[in-house]
């Protein structure tokens, strides 16, 4: 099918706009990203590998990031599904406020979020004495990192799910209930398969954001090398210590992750579009289907040999 084109724009304008877009993207995204990789591999892959694997603090930072991010994503997945379910299936006072509150982490600076967590969970914080008496350490420890990361990635899963669940509607779930399914069966057999791509999309975005989180984590981690440094913090610390090649090596891992996320996002978005089309098709009811060897509706039988089913 030919793509529609705007014929009123003159060719010069079009070329200028393309040049501007390519220029900005090139200057701000492609060149910096490429230079990170160039810098990281400047002394060859062996040096790159040494910088990552032979420094115990860097190793620990990678391991910590690989632990904290999935935990935060898991919490957000559970929270996201529960909240999206609540918001899309029930009407209650304060519903719109709840949706708005889910977006707060998008508008609050991560540093502020980190500070808020210190105010609550820190030694002089609201819950500090209680936590201290229990022997739990949140701030300057990994639970604080998980909390901070969860906070900043909070909207990503729930924001993906709400519109999809609204669009699908409750009918299939009600049908499953009337057929005798339990709540868990409805969720695993009907809801989850219907939202799986939207959920995966949210998870991939949340994971990318969680891995890269710097501000909130910076405040709550205390920046203890080999203990509470995540990958982004490690990149910054190595850079401050004038160990640029090592810093770039870690940065290249984060950048590589971004590229993987990009590909995953592309694939998932295509699936989401396909699902949306399918939903559209399921809503419209063709009386005869064109093509694909489908016979036209033969109509109902003229007599029924019904046994009581």
Judged by CB under 8 A, the residue of 31, 189, 260, 270 near other proteins is 189
Site for other proteins in 191-220 (CB under 8 A): 193-194
Question: Would you say 170 or 245 has its CB closer to other proteins?
Answer: 170
Window of 223-231, 232-240, 247-255, 299-307 that interacts with other proteins by CB under 8 A: 299-307
Window of 40-48, 179-187, 208-216, 236-244 that interacts with other proteins by CB under 8 A: 179-187
| CB of residue 177 to other proteins, shortest distance in Å | 5
| CB of residue 156 to other proteins, shortest distance in Å | 24
Residues 143-172, one symbol each (x = binds other proteins by CB under 8 A, - = not), give: ----------------------------xx
Site for other proteins in 244-283 (CB under 8 A): 278-279, 281-283
DSSP secondary structure of the chain: -PPP--SSS-HHHHHHHHHHHHHHHIIIIIHHHHHHHHHHTTTHHHHHHHHHHS-HHHHHHHHHHHHHHHHHHHHHHHHHHHHHHHHHH---TTHHHHHHHHTHHHHS-HHHHHHHHHHHHSTTSSSHHHHHHHT---TTSHHHHHHHHHHHHHHHHHHHHHHHHHHH-SHHHHHHHHTT--HHHHIIIIIHHHHHHHHHHHHHHHHHHHHH--HHHHHHHTT-TTTT--HHHHHHHHHHTT-HHHHHHHHHHHHHHHHHHHHHHHHHHHHHHHHHHHHHHHHS--SS--STTPPP---S-SS------
Total residues at the site for other proteins (CB under 8 A)?
Answer: 41
Query: Which residues contact other proteins by CB under 8 A?
Result: 171-172, 174-182, 185, 189-190, 193-194, 278-279, 281-283, 285-289, 292, 294, 296-301, 303-309
């Amino acid at each position: 099918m030919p793509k529609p084109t705007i014929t009123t724009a003159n060719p010069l304008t079009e070329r200028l706009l393309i040049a501007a877009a390519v220029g900005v993207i090139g200057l701000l995204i492609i060149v910096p990203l490429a230079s990170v990789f160039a810098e990281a591999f400047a002394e060859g892959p062996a040096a790159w590998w040494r910088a990552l694997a032979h420094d115990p603090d860097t190793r620990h930072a990678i391991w910590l990031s690989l632990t904290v991010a999935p935990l935060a994503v898991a919490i957000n997945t559970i929270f996201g599904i529960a909240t999206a379910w609540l918001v899309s299936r029930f009407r209650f006072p304060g519903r719109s406020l709840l949706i708005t509150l889910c977006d707060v982490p998008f508008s609050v600076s991560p540093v502020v979020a980190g500070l808020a967590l210190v105010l609550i969970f820190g030694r002089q914080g609201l819950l500090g004495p209680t936590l201290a008496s229990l022997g739990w350490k949140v701030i300057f420890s990994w639970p604080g990192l998980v909390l901070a990361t969860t906070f900043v990635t909070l909207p990503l899963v729930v924001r993906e799910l709400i519109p999809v669940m609204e669009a699908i509607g409750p009918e299939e779930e009600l049908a499953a209930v009337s057929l005798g399914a339990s709540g868990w069966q409805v969720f695993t057999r009907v809801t989850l398969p219907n939202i799986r791509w939207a959920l995966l999309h949210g998870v991939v975005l949340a994971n990318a954001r969680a891995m890269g989180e710097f501000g909130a984590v910076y405040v709550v981690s205390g920046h203890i090398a080999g203990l509470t440094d995540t990958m982004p913090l490690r990149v910054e610390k190595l850079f401050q210590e004038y160990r640029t090649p090592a810093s770039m090596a870690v940065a290249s891992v984060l950048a590589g992750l971004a590229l993987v996320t990009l590909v995953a996002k592309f694939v998932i978005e295509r699936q989401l579009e396909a699902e949306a089309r399918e939903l559209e098709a399921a809503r419209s009811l063709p009386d005869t289907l064109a093509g694909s060897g489908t016979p036209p509706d033969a109509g109902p039988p003229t007599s029924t040999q019904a046994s009581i089913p």
